[in-house]
A and B are shown apart, each in its own frame.
Chain A
């Protein structure tokens, strides 16, 4: 994958299909920052480096900058803005716009993955509830996007866009199929935004196809014994 050259002291520990790791790849690409990517085997056994670098949560992604770890994907994105001020920033300059961007990235973090998991894990009434919730989430994000080209508005492709773009490969096929809905129908502006993201080089080179995500979830369901 692009970006794996001599690394400017930057190393990213990730897992190939993780949208959280992919956010970081998108951010690094947007900033033109070279880094070394290390794939963690989350099912086989986490590396000593990962466990040492994130002893509290033991999770990817982890960014190492000259050996010092930064954990949590949204914190990594903010760190990259702070540590490399000469590169294009993800967050806008205005404090209120920054708070607004952080709010929506948090909203996405709190709502999307949890609800999405329930779509492919559960059946019956809990599944129906998850579906209703997901449609609500999509409509809320649609309203926030409005007529903007990107969530970053005047700033352009920014913090919230980088945070949410990896999920486009999860909505298409996986969430839509398991959730029995269509993003294009429920939230057409969001669908158009997803297509625009997909055309962006930083996104295209950082995320895997919806087919690969769908297969991965299929395998995971088998492992978890879900029919």
Chain B
């Protein structure tokens, strides 16, 4: 596919997954059109191009579709010129993919449940997510971003912790990332959000706060249904 072919992202405003796709394109300097989905009423466009999972984001490059946000990031890195989103060294690449998957597979659910459940279950998930955060904290030693001097795959994977985490903490009163316990992660979140390119496609903080506050009960119910029976 010629890099010059039209690029679209089928996404959703409040979705960190959708953000990853946009952020990758902006880091590479690739112009794109954003098509916003109403996730309660999914479009034919989305369902045609992601029939298996029916989820956002989907990247359309000409007539080719790519699904799954982390795969989209790798695709953008490979299909377009511009700053590399993954390291060049094979072992470093494997480590970047490892941490991106760790965040995706091991952190997303405990983070959500730590925020939106209560009682003993919540204590368990808080312990679990804090242990995971400690591992991420260690990865940031001596680095501005997980990718080093520049934002890369792991930073994009962790984007939820740059904007969404702070908003959830404010709504719920649950504190996961503090200056005392996780200073590097706290600083990273600020640096990430302040970056000109990725910051431009993060949802506005005040608006996200408003949207999520309105959905509090729904999130708590969702979290409860995710608990093991």
- On A, residues with C-beta under 8 Å from B are 56, 65, 68, 70-72, 75-76, 78-79, 82-83, 95-96, 98-99, 102-103, 106-107, 140
Indicate whether B71 reaches chain A with its CB closer than 8 angstroms. yes
Q: How far is the CB of A107 from chain B (nearest CB, A)?
A: 7
Given contacts A56-B102, A96-B61, contact A70 B71 (CB under 8 A): no
Q: Is the CB of B98 within 8 A of A72?
A: yes
Q: Is the CB of A79 within 8 A of B94?
A: yes
Q: How far is the CB of A78 from chain B (nearest CB, A)?
A: 7
Q: How far is the CB of B108 from chain A (nearest CB, A)?
A: 13
| B79 neighbours in A (Cβ, 8 Å) | 95-96
Q: Is the CB of A75 within 8 A of B74?
A: no
| A72 neighbours in B (Cβ, 8 Å) | 97-98, 101
Q: Is the CB of A82 within 8 A of B52?
A: no
The segment from B62-70, B159-167, B187-195, B201-209 that touches chain A is B62-70
Q: How far is the CB of A187 from chain B (nearest CB, A)?
A: 16
Q: How far is the CB of B76 from chain A (nearest CB, A)?
A: 9
Q: How far is the CB of A155 from chain B (nearest CB, A)?
A: 15
Measured in the bound complex, the distance between the Cα atoms of B90 and A75 in whole Å is 10
| B93 neighbours in A (Cβ, 8 Å) | 78-79, 82
Measured in the bound complex, the distance between the Cα atoms of B213 and A74 in whole Å is 39
Measured in the bound complex, the distance between the Cα atoms of B99 and A72 in whole Å is 11
> Considering the complex, which residues of chain B in the window 83-108 have a beta carbon less than 8 Å from any beta carbon of chain A?
90-91, 93-94, 97-98, 101-102
Please name the 9 residue pairs, one residue from A and one from B, whose CB atoms are nearest each other, closest first.
Answer: A82-B90, A95-B78, A83-B90, A95-B79, A99-B75, A79-B94, A99-B66, A70-B94, A96-B64
Q: How far is the CB of A161 from chain B (nearest CB, A)?
A: 18
Measured in the bound complex, the distance between the Cα atoms of B209 and A105 in whole Å is 37
Indicate whether B226 reaches chain A with its CB closer than 8 angstroms. no
| A68 neighbours in B (Cβ, 8 Å) | 91
Q: Is the CB of B90 within 8 A of A98?
A: no
| A56 neighbours in B (Cβ, 8 Å) | 102, 135
Measured in the bound complex, the distance between the Cα atoms of B100 and A103 in whole Å is 15
Report 15 cross-chain contacts, Cβ distance below 8 Å, ordered by A residue: A56-B135, A65-B91, A70-B91, A71-B98, A72-B98, A79-B91, A79-B94, A83-B91, A95-B75, A95-B79, A96-B75, A98-B74, A99-B75, A103-B66, A140-B52
Q: Is the CB of B101 within 8 A of A75?
A: yes
Q: Is the CB of B74 within 8 A of A99?
A: yes
Q: How far is the CB of B181 from chain A (nearest CB, A)?
A: 19
Q: Is the CB of B94 within 8 A of A96?
A: no
Contact of A102 among B52, B64, B74, B135 (CB under 8 A): B74
Measured in the bound complex, the distance between the Cα atoms of B1 and A140 in whole Å is 26
Given contacts A56-B102, A96-B61, contact A106 B94 (CB under 8 A): no
Measured in the bound complex, the distance between the Cα atoms of B101 and A56 in whole Å is 12
Q: Is the CB of A99 within 8 A of B90?
A: no
Q: Specify the chain A residue showing the minimal Cβ separation from B66.
A: A99
Given contacts A75-B101, A96-B1, contact A103 B78 (CB under 8 A): no
